[in-house]
Every structure is written in structure tokens, then in C-alpha cells.
Amino acid sequence: QVQLVESGGGLVQAGGSLRLSCVVSGSTFSSYAMGWFRQAPGKEREFVAAMTWSGGNIYYLDSVKGRFTISRDNAKNTVYLQMNSLKPEDTAVYYCAADPSGNYRHFVSWGHWGQGTQVTVSS
């Protein structure tokens, strides 16, 4: 059984930084594409970033390009989301996802999810 556990969320002022981590167990992590989504209250789950198993292809939501960086360490079964220059509109629960089949930007394409970690950016 695949398990994803996120950490690193918290409260930060606008302009600050956070690094989210997601540890994957119960699977061959290195073979999975990995992604991050977020969901704000009353809104649909939104694609944030994704990368292929090799790291050769990386995708971002337009509004986070240049501010967020997705990376992975296959030796640690971990994917990261470095978030810089945070804005209040980045406030959401952030979810890690694994093993997509289909369009990476669609949350229904992803087979496994973590429980989420709250990110709150104050103005």
C-alpha cells in the first residue's frame, strides 16, 4: 500500500518561504511521477507542480513559476516543494500526489494522495 506523508506547512508572512516535504513509502518511488496540488476553502483542488520520475520534465502552475521549485531525492523517497516569495493567495492545504495516468494538471489523474499540510500566508 502506497503512503504519502507531507510536512513543512505553517504560518508565514507574505514574502516569506516554506519548504514542503512528502515522503513516499510502500512503492517504488523512483518510478513515479510526483506532483503537488493545493486546495483553498470553497475552491477546487488546483495543480501546482509536477515532475517526471527522472526529473527530466517539470511543470508549474503559471502563477507560481519563478517562485516555487519542485525537486525529488529518490534515495530518500522524498519530493519537495520550495516556496519563495509567498503571497496571501497561496494560502491553502497542499497535497502531495503520486503515480498519474493522464494529464498531470488534472487531479483525477493521480492515483495516490497524502493527507495534506496547511500553508497560511498572512499579509
Phi, psi dihedrals of residue 37, rounded to the nearest 5°: -125, 165
Quick one: pLDDT band at residue 72, thresholds 50, 70, 90? very high
- pLDDT of 30 > 80? The answer is no
SS (H, E, C) the chain: CCEEEEECCEEEECCCCEEEEEEEECCCHHHCCEEEEEECCCCCCEEEEEECCCCCCEEECHHHCCCEEEEEEHHHCEEEEEECCCCHHHCEEEEEEEEECCCCCCHHHEEEECCCEEEEEEC
Contact (CB, 8 A) for 48 and 94 = yes
- pLDDT of 102 > 90? The answer is no
- pLDDT of 13 > 90? The answer is yes
Percent of the chain predicted with pLDDT > 70 = 100
